[in-house]
Structure 1
Amino acid sequence: MNRLHLTGTLGKVPKLETSPSGIEHLQLVLEHRSMQPEAGMSRQSYVRIQVVLSGEGLQHWLEKLTVGCEVLAEGFLHRHEDSNGSPRLVLHAQHLELI
């Protein structure tokens, strides 16, 4: 199963793009910090991941999402390649909410 629930703060100003096929894509950067148990000890965890929310009517998110606001993103991980061919994991959010 490929499913991820991640909370964090918005690390960059969101960007709304429309694909050539007319689909809206809201691009976000989510930063998460927490302490996680590992091997009987506490470990500091830090994640910075690109999040993409796709669909219709995403314009309203631009007014609500500000750098530093807390959000919950739920969706699946997908591998993307940048223009240099370097791979990265992107969270394709199917649900997004302010917390």
Structure 2
Amino acid sequence: MQRNWVQIDGHVAKAPRRSKSPAGINHCQFWLDHVSTQTEANMARQARAYIAVVASGDELNQQTQLLQMGSAVTVTGFLVTQTGRDGLAKMILHAQHIELLN
């Protein structure tokens, strides 16, 4: 299977954290808060997701420069499960494109 693609709108829920890897790759990490109304079984349903986002590389570093807490964005990318030091797995959205909406 090859398909792993996500596009989601939301607001930056925490101030972005920027870092650089030992290899010199720029990283920006932030939490995205998504709220919408979706249709499921022919009924309206409130959908809420709180998603960790990682944006890596020079191109995405430029796209994230104006991000701040509360910024409305559309993030396109792929999902990866990452196991933390505590042994718990969490889903991470690895961004391939970020569009600032406001």
TM > 0.5 fold call: yes
The aligned runs of 1:43-82 (5 Å cut-off) are 43-56=45-58, 58=61, 61-62=64-65, 64-82=66-84
What TM-score do you get using the length of structure 2 for normalisation? 0.90
Give the deviation of 1:23 after TM superposition.
1.1
CA–CA separation in structure 2 for the residues paired with 1:60 and 1:79 = 24
- The count of corresponding residues between Structure 1 and Structure 2 is 98
Measured on the aligned residues, the alpha-carbon RMSD in Å equals 1.4
Structure 1 letter corresponding to 2:81: R
Structure 1: which 5+ residue stretches go unaligned? none
State the secondary structure of the residue aligned to 1:83: coil
Partners of 2:97 and 2:49 in 1: CA distance: 19
Tell me whether 1:93 sits opposite 2:88 in the alignment: no
Residue in 1 that maps onto 2:23: 21
Q: Any idea what SS the aligned residue of 1:12 has?
A: coil
Contact 1:16 1:59 in 2 (8 A): no
Gaps of 5+ in 2: none
Cα separation, partners in 2 of 1:82 and 1:72, compared to 1, 3 Å = same
Identify the range of structure 1 (13-22 vs 89-98) with the bigger mean alpha-carbon deviation: 13-22
Inter-partner Cα distance in structure 2 for 1:44 and 1:60: 29
Q: Which amino acid aligns with 2:42?
A: G
Percent of aligned pairs sharing the same letter: 40
Q: TM-score, normalised by structure 1?
A: 0.92
